[in-house]
Amino acid sequence: MPLSAGLAVWLVLAATDAGVAPRFDWDVPKLLADARVGSGRIDVSGLPLDMHVVRSGWKANELAIHYARRFIEAGFFIPPDQKPFPGSSLRRLTAFDPVTMQSYTLIFYAEEDGTTTVVLGAADLGHRRAAGLERFPAPVLPGARAATVFELEAARALSFTTAASESELASFYRQTLIGAGWRERAPGSYVRAGRQLRVMVKREGPAGPLAVVVLEDADRGEPAK
């Protein structure tokens, strides 16, 4: 599937309002490919998620209409103001099952060949637990907003937005992480005791805030850039 790795990261991080429930089966029309994100449930700020990236032979508009009808038939609530995926023009459809407290989101990516790649997310809102920001090995930049921790197999990530500059962000993490015993291997990359932290940044619009992801996983020994 041609979704870039960078786009996939941001789709996963934005999935806190996504969803699947025991009462609902995705049953993708004209399914061409199906890849589950992780080998089990993802945990985003204590919210259990189940996510798939699929490819359908149907067009994005056809799929959106199909699932909107299925949600309505199932008695789910569909918010009237369905905005595109944050920071993009990608169409998004979200619904909520008030009986099981499950939330469902689809994000549509139209391919040039007329097929559609779709991110399917299932959130178990009834079993959300505390996020545990204090257990993440890197601190949150002071003044940051919407701080979130998610877990995926052997990796964890901290995400937030900030009005600080990239240089201020880099200086904060260089000072705090080195002071905590991490070694800077390359700009934005730190290692300690077989683990690594990578600070990734994306600007939300020309004058928007910085969207920051701090990824913690196994140190694979990548050479310094």
Q: pLDDT per residue over 69-95, tens digit each?
A: 999 999 899 988 888 877 778 999 999
Q: What pLDDT score was predicted for residue 149?
A: 80
| Nearest residue to 136 via CA among 155, 121, 119, 122 | 155
Domain tally, the chain: 2
Same domain assignment for residues 148 and 115: no
Q: Is residue 223 part of a domain?
A: no
Residue type, 142: P
pLDDT at 20 over 80: no
Q: Tell me, what's the pLDDT at 198?
A: 93
**pLDDT of res. 100:** 80
CATH number at residue 190: 3.30.1370
The predicted model gives 95-102 an average pLDDT of 83
Q: Are residues 24 and 52 in the same domain?
A: yes
Domain that holds residue 99: 5-127
Alpha-helical runs (H) found in the chain: 5-13, 60-73, 166-179
Q: How far apart are CA 33 and CA 171, in angstroms?
A: 43
Based on the domain organization, do 88 and 21 belong to the same domain?
yes
Per-residue b/e over 36-61, b at no fewer than 16 CB within 10 Å? ebbeebbbbbebbbbbbbbbbebebe
| Domain closes at, from 127, 161, 191 | 127
Mean pLDDT of 89-104: 87
77 and 180 housed in the same domain: no
9 occurs within a structural domain = yes
Give the pLDDT score at 44: 67
* Of 147 and 108, the one with more pLDDT: 108
User: Which is higher by pLDDT, 205 or 155?
Assistant: 155
User: What is the average pLDDT across 39-67?
Assistant: 84
User: Which helix (DSSP H) or strand (DSSP E) does residue 162 occupy?
Assistant: strand 155-162
Q: What percent of the chain has pLDDT over 90?
A: 44
Please choose, from the candidates 19, 161, 10, the residue with its C-alpha nearest in 3D space to the C-alpha of residue 90.
Answer: 10
